[in-house]
A and B are shown apart, each in its own frame.
Chain A
Amino acid sequence: MQKNNKIKKILIANRGEIAIRVSQTAKEMGIKTVSLYTEEELNLPHKSYSDESYNLGSGPLKDTYLNQDKIIDIAKKCGADAIHPGYGFLSEKSSFAKKVKEAGLIFIGPSPESIDLMGDKKTSKIKIQELGVPSIPGYHGDNQEMSHLIKEAHKIGFPVLIKASAGGGGKGMRIVFNENEFQAALEGAKREALNAFSDDTVLLEKYITSPRHIEIQVMSDQHGNHTHLFERECSIQRRYQKILEESPSPAVSPELRSRMTEAALKITKGINYEGAGTIELILDTDGSFYFLEMNTRLQVEHPVTEMVTGLDLVKLQIMVAQGDKLPYIQSDIKQRGHAIEVRLYAEDPDNDFLPSIGTIKKIGKSSVRDTRLDCGYVDGNVVTISFDPMLAKLISWGESRDSATKKLNLALNEILFLGLKTNRDYLKRILTLPEFKEGLTFTHFVKTYEAGLKPKEPNQEHLALAVAAYLFNSQEMTGPKQIFNKTTTAWENLSGFRNI
């Protein structure tokens, strides 16, 4: 009866590593894929990885990856029967999900109603309270006057967090420790919010001093089956954006895990959710936790869940979207071993994580076992300011947290992204910090251990070997080395872009 519903061709309304990730699974399922790209992305691998690709033109994002009508039009013209939104961009725009449905296509994600309900921080919290899941004390009212907000902040008690109502990714967010800082922080948050979301409404929340960020991966089908795929801990963040995620969390006991997953399922059942989603929770040191928000899409950090459960989350998303039942029951799913993901960013960790740009001269490849690289670039690509500075995700699995850490640290010796300033060395500093090993991963990790995360002095033998390699390379060379050096110079000239 559902035979006609089977998806045959998916348009991926996204770019970079996630576009490639979705294509990989679709190909494995025998589904054709369509990718999109802009004028700036002619050489990026997500363009050519799919079966077909279409040019979105150039200009601001609203004319390209955020142009709903253009994307749906391409999907119809190329004969796609489903659209996968990836993460970011249109993935949590209910208007897009609705338009996709109205165009007679399948939206690989939850219903527009679920996106609406959970996408708004205010309505989601009201719903969550109805369902008996605790949320953080705060102010979510319409009165946005400074004096009123200050009064509310006093009611909640400092420190207080100012957040953009429509926000995400740390944009439009400020921590305020006392009334004196309030005005400047509010102005900054509103400015950032207006820029990023065209809406400067803010909300206030109690700021928990030593919180951990724990999230529960959920997966529901259209037949009323609601499951969870355990937790991920994503406490290590900079600029309110995650840089390291792991599963299981070193802070979650079996008892706490069952309370957290139970709360997550209460939510997915309570809102009749469909597809993949993530319930973000804030864990306090006393074991109490609060609902933070629900992401109604695939998460950037989904690979850690895939590595500990052995499931393919994109495959499950596609199956659920075409009306299939989930191919497992809850008790089939086990957390096996430990997985850690780090996000490689084009940025300078030693200069306030300022984004960097330039040409990728060499990514490198990893020979470490049980390690996965989800990457949206190839050698020679230019990283510009037009898109998110995330370069790739590197994920290692081990039988224990310690073994996963060691594998990942080794892999970071080989995945290099030479030619750009990146956070690669910084990620290694995190992985080798004793406090990381002890699992002291709170959301202010980066700030707390700032001193221990400073660059280390290179050792003299490493330096000598680098100098030796330089001496070998700078001699009159014969064979492949010379050819390589020539090609490197050639593409640098071609791109017309000098790394700065």
Chain B
Amino acid sequence: MKKTIELNNELIDIDIIEQNPKFVLFNLEGREYTVSLESSDDYRLNLAFNQYNKTVVAVDSHFVVDGVEFSIKAPRRSRSKSKATGLHQMTSPMPGKILKIFVKEGSEVILGSPILVMEAMKMEHTIKAGMSGKIEKIYFKEGDQVAGGVELVKLC
């Protein structure tokens, strides 16, 4: 049975050859894996893979193996808005205050040049241009309080 999963925000296909509650045989990127579930507690699964034993932490879409975290979930039916965010959109990474804006509408900027400085958690963070281009629109002014994930500036 073919199945598509979203792994670290990328879609990948796996082929499940056999599966029951204690055992799974699947093909991932050209290699077959046989894994059995030995035991589990409220957030950890003890798996056996060939002769190896591994504990995997599994909480919602978070999976951790030997300290390495993976995000795995069923693919979303519609692409989320954040996915549509392009390099031409500069969004606030978190709630905070706009301290200083270095550009004006119409200014030409190059990739990586500072656009504005935000303050959050009493530290300053510089928002840099995600691509080279022209500032089409600035949505805020210095001193404004902004929420997280809000579009700050439009580049074209």
The reply to whether A416 and B94 contact each other, CB–CB distance below 8 Å, is no
* Besides A354-B94, A467-B14, 16 new A-B residue pairs in contact (Cβ under 8 A), listed by A number: A362-B59, A364-B43, A413-B64, A419-B59, A419-B60, A465-B56, A466-B64, A467-B72, A469-B45, A470-B63, A471-B24, A475-B19, A480-B40, A484-B42, A484-B43, A500-B149
The reply to whether A362 and B47 contact each other, CB–CB distance below 8 Å, is no
At the interface, yes or no: B120 with Cβ under 8 Å from chain A?
yes
Interface of B is mostly: strand
| A352 to B33 Cα, complex, angstroms | 37
At the interface, yes or no: A372 with Cβ under 8 Å from chain B?
no
Q: Kindly list the 10 A-B residue pairs having the minimum CB-CB distance in the complex, ordered from nearest.
A: A413-B67, A468-B35, A466-B63, A469-B56, A466-B70, A462-B65, A470-B72, A418-B62, A362-B59, A464-B33
Q: A121-151, CB under 8 A of B: which get 1 and which 0?
A: 0000000000000000000000000000000
The reply to whether A413 and B66 contact each other, CB–CB distance below 8 Å, is yes
Which of chain B's residues have a CB closer than 8 A to the CB of A416? 57, 62, 64, 69
The reply to whether B124 and A357 contact each other, CB–CB distance below 8 Å, is no
Which of chain B's residues have a CB closer than 8 A to the CB of A351? 93
The reply to whether A480 and B121 contact each other, CB–CB distance below 8 Å, is no
| Residue in A361, A418, A488 with the greatest tally of chain B CB atoms within 10 Å | A418
B20-68 contacts to A (CB < 8 Å): 21, 24, 26, 28-29, 31, 33, 35, 37, 40-43, 45, 47, 49, 54, 56-60, 62-68
B62-117 contacts to A (CB < 8 Å): 62-70, 72, 74, 93-96, 99-100, 117
Q: How many residues of B contact A (CB 8 A)?
A: 55
With CB as the reference atom, state the residue of chain A lying closest to B100: A191
The reply to whether A468 and B72 contact each other, CB–CB distance below 8 Å, is no
Q: Using known A-B contacts A351-B93, A462-B68, determine if residue A500 contacts B148 with beta carbons closer than 8 Å.
A: yes
The reply to whether A467 and B5 contact each other, CB–CB distance below 8 Å, is yes
Q: List 29 A-B contacts (CB under 8 A).
A: A171-B122, A191-B124, A195-B122, A355-B94, A357-B94, A357-B95, A361-B60, A364-B57, A385-B96, A413-B66, A418-B69, A424-B67, A460-B29, A460-B31, A462-B66, A464-B31, A464-B35, A464-B49, A466-B64, A468-B24, A468-B35, A469-B58, A472-B21, A474-B74, A475-B21, A478-B21, A480-B42, A484-B42, A484-B43
The reply to whether A357 and B31 contact each other, CB–CB distance below 8 Å, is no
With CB as the reference atom, state the residue of chain B lying closest to A428: B67
| Residue in A188, A351, A461 with the greatest tally of chain B CB atoms within 10 Å | A461
Q: How far is the CB of A202 from chain B (nearest CB, A)?
A: 15
| A468 to B31 Cα, complex, angstroms | 13
With CB as the reference atom, state the residue of chain A lying closest to B19: A471
At the interface, yes or no: B125 with Cβ under 8 Å from chain A?
yes
At the interface, yes or no: A196 with Cβ under 8 Å from chain B?
yes
The reply to whether A471 and B16 contact each other, CB–CB distance below 8 Å, is yes
Interface residues on A, range: 35 or more
Which of chain A's residues have a CB closer than 8 A to the CB of B94? 354-357, 385
Interface residues of B (CB under 8 A from A): 5, 7, 14, 16, 19, 21, 24, 26, 28-29, 31, 33, 35, 37, 40-43, 45, 47, 49, 54, 56-60, 62-70, 72, 74, 93-96, 99-100, 117, 119-126, 148-149
The reply to whether B65 and A465 contact each other, CB–CB distance below 8 Å, is yes
At the interface, yes or no: A329 with Cβ under 8 Å from chain B?
no
At the interface, yes or no: A239 with Cβ under 8 Å from chain B?
yes
Which of chain B's residues have a CB closer than 8 A to the CB of A467? 5, 7, 14, 26, 28, 33, 72
| A470 to B42 Cα, complex, angstroms | 15
Q: How far is the CB of B143 from chain A (nearest CB, A)?
A: 12
Q: Using known A-B contacts A355-B94, A469-B56, A475-B19, determine if residue A425 contacts B123 with beta carbons closer than 8 Å.
A: no
Q: How far is the CB of A455 from chain B (nearest CB, A)?
A: 10
Which of chain B's residues have a CB closer than 8 A to the CB of A465? 35, 47, 49, 54, 56, 65
At the interface, yes or no: A1 with Cβ under 8 Å from chain B?
no
Q: Using known A-B contacts A460-B29, A472-B37, A474-B74, determine if residue A488 contacts B60 with beta carbons closer than 8 Å.
A: yes
Q: How far is the CB of B68 from chain A (nearest CB, A)?
A: 5
Q: A146-187, CB under 8 A of B: which get 1 and which 0?
A: 000000000000000000000000010000000000000000
At the interface, yes or no: A77 with Cβ under 8 Å from chain B?
no
| A19 to B37 Cα, complex, angstroms | 41
Q: A416-435, CB under 8 A of B: which get 1 and which 0?
A: 10110000110010000000
Q: How far is the CB of A399 from chain B (nearest CB, A)?
A: 23
Q: How far is the CB of A385 from chain B (nearest CB, A)?
A: 5
Q: How far is the CB of B60 from chain A (nearest CB, A)?
A: 6
Q: How far is the CB of A429 from chain B (nearest CB, A)?
A: 11
Q: How far is the CB of B57 from chain A (nearest CB, A)?
A: 6
With CB as the reference atom, state the residue of chain B lying closest to A364: B57
With CB as the reference atom, state the residue of chain A lying closest to B64: A416
Q: Using known A-B contacts A385-B95, A465-B35, A468-B26, determine if residue A418 contacts B122 with beta carbons closer than 8 Å.
A: no
